Amino acid sequence: MKHEQVFLIGMMGIGKTTVGQLLAQKMNRLFIDSDIYIEETTGMSVSQIFSSLGEAYFRNLENIFLNSLPHYQHKLVIACGGGLPTLPNALERMKKNGTLIFLDGDPRVLFSRIQQNGERPLLSNEEAFVTLYKERLIFYHQADIRIDISHTPEETATALYLRLQELWS
């Protein structure tokens, strides 16, 4: 199995950035968050991109980001935006270049967590968020590893580190 890159997928608010940074430290790898990369590249927040340029424009930026990954000289841990795995052929491209990890959790808990942050796009209410979660499960379930985030980020990163070592041995 190819394991050059590690891709963390899951819904917004699940903790991909926090867990990803901790996992990257444990693995002595660079960490990249696709949303932060896009924000730094465009000089706009994800919410600004959604509101002024639209979701299709943002998804195109995610696609460009994904296409740039094979050119990196380093092994990476990558936190993917929640919708990135839904892009055409995205899962296939990620699996070709690495290992996918689905961080999972109760969508109602996630919704209440991200309500504190007004910078999240695609949120209208809890039911819409739960529906979006259910629609994305078909993509998320194609990951090589699924882990529930009911533990602390440090415990989750440690468990993932051990699971990856086992998977790759």
Q: Determine the structural domain holding residue 82 and report its residue range.
A: 5-168
Taking only the tens place, the pLDDT of each residue in 53-67 is 988 999 999 999 998
Question: Does position 21 have pLDDT exceeding 70, yes or no?
Answer: yes
Q: Is the confidence at residue 84, as pLDDT, over 60?
A: yes
Reported as a pLDDT band with limits 50, 70 and 90, residue 1 is very low
Which has more pLDDT, 73 or 102?
Answer: 102
How many structural domains compose the chain? Answer: 1
pLDDT for the residue numbered 116? 64
- In CATH, what number is assigned to the domain containing residue 91? 3.40.50.300
Amino acid 124: pLDDT: 67
Q: For residue 13, give the nearest of 91, 79, 63 by alpha carbon.
A: 79
The pLDDT value recorded for residue 15 is: 92
Q: CA 142, CA 165: separation in Å to the nearest integer?
A: 20
What is the secondary structure of 64-97 as a DSSP string? HHHHHGGG-SS-EEEEPPTTGGGSTTHHHHHHHH
